[in-house]
Amino acid sequence: MVPASMITFPPEAVLDIVKAVCSDGTNTFFLHGTEDRPLSGKQCLIYVVQGIATCAVRIPVHLEHLPSEAISNYVDAEVSILRRLETSHFSWSPRVLGYDSGFNNPIKFPYMVLTWIDGKPLEWTESIPPQGHTRDKVLYQLANILLELVSCTMHSKPGVTALTFLTDAVDRKIQRVKKGQLRDVRLEDCLVQRELVPRVIHDLPEASYFVLSHEDLAAQNIIVDDEFNVKGIIDWGFARYLPLQFAAYFPRFLAIEPEVDDPLPEDVVSFSSAFLRPSLSLQVDRECFISQLLSADSVSVSHAIRELMTIILTDPDVDWRHLVFEAAFSKGLHVWMAKRSWLITGTRAGLEPLSH
């Protein structure tokens, strides 16, 4: 199998794709040297082509190890999400100019042609952007974007609450384990997680509100200009609709996330407390982001919804709740959490270890 990083496509075929959806017969050409060296994202190779508009031809070659149907479904799902965002007048996602989720096309592989968002990926460290106005400006913009996403996509699913949503997800996993479909996942660990579900849920009057969550809002998916003005959000392939209290979480560069290949610590109790404790600089950034949610310009999200989101993000166990939730959908994270006793001893709400 050829490594995805070495896969390329005939430049003429890529241009033919763009000519079919974004050309008036005038010259069409590559930008940013992508004719010979396409950009590489987490899932896609990206060719930047100038037609009537500047286009990004995204080809999910990093999924090439999956069955053809799975690759096609990935493209169909992302296109569906992007079109919903466009229909709902969300301002920050690329627009779909054309796509083909099959393999019978000029490049013999599924692809999307999207509007190109000019700029560069956000860099976020303890010193970049610099502390002060510039750093706060980025967080202020992202708070506004998150509120706009909530406003554009929030809807009700009668009869489906956060509790039933997460319980059903864990129950589906339990059935897969019983059928032998999830290697390395133990049934007893799934039962522990199911018992944890009520502890994860906030008792909030959110009814059955669902909103779209990007699910990979990492710094590299936030495009900014040289002045740290946010120009757009890319890579919506993992986006999904979630109950509001699960969708309301920090961008990934403000999150606490494990490396699932980390060795098992000798002292799980001490590790759990240390792991779930944000650094001082992270606390400062988080406090700024949360304050921006309440003060952001968006008027389309009610103050009550903003307060709910603030309650969720200021909970002392916000990261633990989020990790237990995500472990319902990620095999790697499930195994990591289970081996560390679900980090229960690191919670600040005084949760007692389960008796399993």
Same domain, 139 and 94: no
Both tokens of 224, joined, read 């900014």
The domain in which residue 30 lies consists of 4-116
Residue 98 sits in a domain whose CATH number is 3.30.200.20
Task: Specify whether 147 is located in the same domain as 23.
Answer: no
Nearest CA among 64, 81, 36, 44 for reference residue 239: 81
Statement to judge: residues 205 and 180 lie in one domain: yes
Domain check: are 87 and 170 in the same one? no
Task: Say if CB 211 and CB 246 are below 8 A apart.
Answer: no
Identify the CA nearest to 323 among candidates 257, 235, 225. Answer: 257
Q: How far apart, in Å, are the Cα atoms of 133 and each of 147, 210, 227, 233, 310? A: 21, 33, 11, 22, 22
Residues 63, 105, single domain; the answer is yes
Total of domains in the chain: 2
Closest to 240 measured CA to CA, from 300, 126, 153? 153
End-to-end CA distance of the chain: 44
Phi then psi for residue 161, to 5 deg, are -110, 175
- Answer yes or no: are the C-beta atoms of 229 and 168 closer than 8 Å: no
pLDDT category at 303 given cuts 50, 70, 90 is: confident
Question: Domain check: are 138 and 200 in the same one?
Answer: yes
The answer on pLDDT for 353 being more than 60 is no
Contacts for 178 with CB less than 8 Å, ≥ 6 apart:
187
83: tokens are: 């079109």
Predicted pLDDT at 1: 41
With beta carbons less than 8 A apart as the criterion, state whether 164 and 246 touch. Answer: no
Return the amino acid letter for 269: V
Q: Which of 108-122, 147-161, 193-207, 291-305 has the lowest mean pLDDT?
A: 291-305
Residues 109 and 145 in one domain: no
In this structure, is residue 355 part of a structural domain?
no
Residue 352 lies in a domain: no
* pLDDT > 90? residue 203: no
CA distance 337 to 138: 32
What pTM value is reported for the model? 0.93
- Tell me how far apart the alpha carbons of residues 300 and 187 are, in angstroms, rounded to a whole number: 44
Domain-embedded: residue 73: yes
Residue 243, domain CATH = 3.90.1200
For 310-352, the pLDDT digits (tens) are 999 999 999 999 999 999 999 999 999 999 999 999 997 655 5
Q: Which pLDDT tens digit goes with each residue over 160-192?
A: 999 999 999 999 999 999 999 999 999 999 999
Q: Are residues 156 and 278 in the same domain?
A: yes
Q: In which band, very low, low, confident or very high, does the pLDDT at 355 lie, cut at 50, 70 and 90?
A: low
Least confident residue range of 106-115, 150-159, 212-221, 227-236? 150-159
85 and 194 in a common domain: no
Long-range contact pairs involving 2-8 (C-beta distance under 8 Å, separation at least 24): 4/45, 4/61, 4/62, 4/64, 5/40, 7/45, 7/61, 7/64, 8/38, 8/45
Q: Is 149 found in the same domain as 109?
A: no
